[in-house]
């Protein structure tokens, strides 16, 4: 499948649909107080880049956000792939684009929090060379969270 990944505005109908899907998946897997919803307005902040993977016919197949931190690290959040495009390389394409951008921006590590029930995401990150680590930033230890990092710089 032909894919392109670019930084786009979060305030688009297709992207908003992906973000709603991400919230629905998170709600189904992790009901209760642990969820941290993100919306298009939040993702439009200057230190956040939203990556959108599109098919050759311009359908938004997936997205994820890159948060630039002030400490030489970046955090990837909210990778979601439309179920119609799962297992077709969308997640890997998003991950590669995020890593390349973070590296170009001078970040030395890419960090992420992943839910314990998100086994597909965990497998993707481990295949891509990420290693498990402890909580970072404002995260606290949680029974539903795992933390990963990869040295990129």
pLDDT tens-digit profile of 34-91? Answer: 666 678 888 889 999 999 999 999 999 999 999 999 899 999 999 999 999 999 999 9
Q: For residue 5, what are its two tokens? A: 């990944």
Q: What is the pTM (predicted TM-score) of this model?
A: 0.94
| Residue 110: per-residue pLDDT | 98
Number of independent structural domains in the chain = 1
Non-local CB neighbours of 131 within 8 Å, separated by 6+ positions: 148, 149, 150
What digits encode the pLDDT tens for the residues 109-133? 999 999 999 999 999 999 999 999 9
Which residue carries 């792939």 as its tokens? Answer: 81
Residue written as tokens 């359908």?
59
Do 114 and 91 meet the contact criterion of CB atoms below 8 Å apart?
no
CATH of the domain at 54: 3.40.630.30
In angstroms, the Cα distances linking 119 to 83, 122, 125, 139 are 15, 5, 10, 20
Tokens 């890419």 -> residue: 110
- Residue-wise pLDDT for 71-85, tens only, equals 999 999 999 999 999
Which single residue is written with the structure tokens 């002030």? 70
- Which pLDDT score is estimated for 91? 97
Domain that holds residue 141: 3-151
């Amino acid at each position: 499948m032909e894919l392109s990944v670019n930084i786009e505005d979060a305030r688009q109908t297709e992207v908003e649909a992906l973000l709603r899907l991400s919230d629905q998946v998170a709600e189904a897997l992790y009901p209760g107080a642990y969820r941290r919803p993100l919306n298009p307005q939040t993702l439009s902040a200057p230190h956040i880049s939203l990556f959108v993977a599109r098919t050759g016919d311009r359908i938004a197949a997936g997205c994820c956000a890159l948060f630039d931190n002030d400490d030489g690290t970046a955090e990837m959040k909210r990778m979601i792939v439309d179920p119609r495009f799962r297992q077709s390389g969308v997640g890997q394409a998003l991950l590669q684009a995020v890593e390349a951008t973070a590296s170009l921006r001078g970040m030395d590590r890419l960090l992420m929090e992943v839910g314990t029930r998100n086994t597909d995401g965990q497998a993707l990150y481990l295949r891509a060379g990420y290693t498990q680590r402890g909580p970072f930033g404002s995260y606290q230890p949680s029974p539903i969270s795992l933390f990963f990092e990869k040295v990129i710089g």
